[in-house]
Amino acid sequence: MALLVLPYFQNASNSNRPDLKTTEQAFGKKLHTYTIVDAINDKNVLPFRIDYIRTMKEKEDIKDKKVRDIDREKALAKPERIGNVVTYILEHFDQKTKRNSKPYSFTSLKNIYEVASAQDRTKVEEVKQRSD
């Protein structure tokens, strides 16, 4: 798709005009806003959920004292922690991805060129094909 869209933007990036050196200068404050929530609602991407799993726990009997900082890199890279994270992912992968709950399918856009080159996107109907 990038090869189809690229010709439309070459003038802005290669312009000798000093007022058109950035995307914002060429197209205004917002060129387009399309969030992951929009993509999920449009069924263009698979929905997902983020789970936060605590991978580091403090011991119960620690006496609190002020310290300058901890070596986060060393703590996060500790082999025991990495092993626990990998084990958790392997044990919960099917459950978290719902691999066994329903068949996987995706939708692809059939008329990419027409949609990308349209002057008024509200007048172009996206033609999608579902693949299982």
Higher confidence at residue 58 or residue 13? 58
Cβ neighbours, 10 Å, residue 123: 7
Listed by start position, the domains of the chain span 2-131
The whole-number pLDDT of residue 105 equals 67
The whole-number pLDDT of residue 76 equals 87
Encode 36-72: b = buried (16+ Cβ within 10 Å), e = exposed: eeeeeeeebeeeeeeeeeeeeeeeeeeeeeeeeeeee
Q: In terms of Cα–Cα distance, which of 76, 30, 72 is closest to 55?
A: 76
The whole-number pLDDT of residue 5 equals 62
Contact 115, 124 (CB under 8 A): yes
Kindly report the three-state secondary structure assignment for every residue of the chain: CHHHHHHHCHHHHHCCCHHHCCHHHHHCCCCCCCCHHHHHHCCCCCCCCCCCCCCCCCCCCCCCCCCCCCCHHHHHCCHHHHHHHHHHHHHHHHHHHCCCCCCCCEEEECCHHHHHHCCCHHHCCCCEEEEC
| pLDDT mean over 7-20 | 61
Q: In terms of Cα–Cα distance, which of 85, 81, 126 is closest to 108?
A: 126
Higher confidence at residue 72 or residue 9? 72
pTM of the predicted protein model: 0.37
Would you say residue 14 has pLDDT above 60? no
The whole-number pLDDT of residue 30 equals 73
For 16-55, the pLDDT digits (tens) are 677 777 777 777 777 677 888 888 888 888 777 788 877 7
For 74-116, the pLDDT digits (tens) are 988 999 989 988 999 899 888 877 766 666 666 777 777 777 7
